[in-house]
Amino acid sequence: MGQLDGKIAWVTGAGSGIGEAAALALAGEGAVLVLTGRRKEPLEEVAAKIKAAGGKAHVHPCDLTVAAEVDAAAEQIAQRLGRIDILVSNAGANIVDRHWNRITAEGIDTLIHFNLSSAMYVARAVMGIMRAQGGGLMIHTASMAGRNTGGFSGPGYQAAKHGVVAMSHSINQEECVNGIRSTALLPGEVNTPILKQRPNPLSAEELARMLQPEDTGEVIRWIACQPKHVCINEMWVTPAWNRSYVAALQRKL
């Protein structure tokens, strides 16, 4: 038996990277998965992997930057499956022209809507469901950029991820009396498709030194398996070879 047998887990941004890895890890513990993202085909591929391993998965595409679509998705999941025990809010994006000397108003909107607005929409959509059922767990993929400034990620991404971290802590402050727990997960660099939006391409050696999606998936599985009286408020997970630290050391030499 898995530690999450019978639990319903909704994973957003589930078609690749951290979201896919989280879905596979939670399914391995017995959870029933609902997979959401903008494109149906990648979600179906992840669902097929889960089912091939003996798990259960449902595909529910939607645009997470549209509040009405998010609300409708949450309502349909609750009606179909009866509850939502775990939310892994993982959708996000970055852009190439991310720094102040090149960023546009449209770029700012992309960063805020895909990284912060979508996370708040999803949290709001499941909040009433979790209150009514007596509790639940939310895990929000933020970033080291949610605690630090400067470096590779750009000011808009940093601002949005700082917002995600603050949002997650506010959920614990207001909803702990309702049995709702929230975790802000702050990975360092992870070898995921979002890295293709970096202005400077990364080498195979650099990618291999980073966290891999499976590493973060395992962390999310561990958080989800904690007992109800335990809240992991915030967790940093970084590669041992941390490029921002290495760059700082080299500047000292």
Separation between Cα atoms, residue 184 and residue 235, nearest integer Å: 6
Among 43, 93, 63, smallest CA distance to 196 is for: 93
Structure tokens that stand for 163 in this block: 């917002």
Please classify residue 148 by burial: count the beta carbons closer than 10 Å to its beta carbon, then call 0-12 exposed, 13-18 middle and 19+ buried: middle
Separation between Cα atoms, residue 27 and residue 214, nearest integer Å: 13
Separation between Cα atoms, residue 253 and residue 244, nearest integer Å: 15
Alpha helix stretches (DSSP H) within 93-229: 105-112, 118-133, 155-175, 204-209, 213-224
H or E element at residue 70: helix 67-81
Q: How many CB atoms lie within 10 A of CB 172?
A: 17
Alpha carbon 60 to its chain centroid, in Å, reads: 16
Q: How many CB atoms lie within 10 A of CB 174?
A: 12
11: phi then psi, degrees, rounded to nearest 5: -115, 120
- Establish whether 121 is a catalytic residue: no
Separation between Cα atoms, residue 123 and residue 31, nearest integer Å: 20
Catalytic residue, candidates 116, 117, 157, 221: 157
What one-character DSSP code corresponds to residue 196? Answer: G
Among 170, 114, 161, 113, smallest CA distance to 138 is for: 170
Active-site amino acid positions: 157
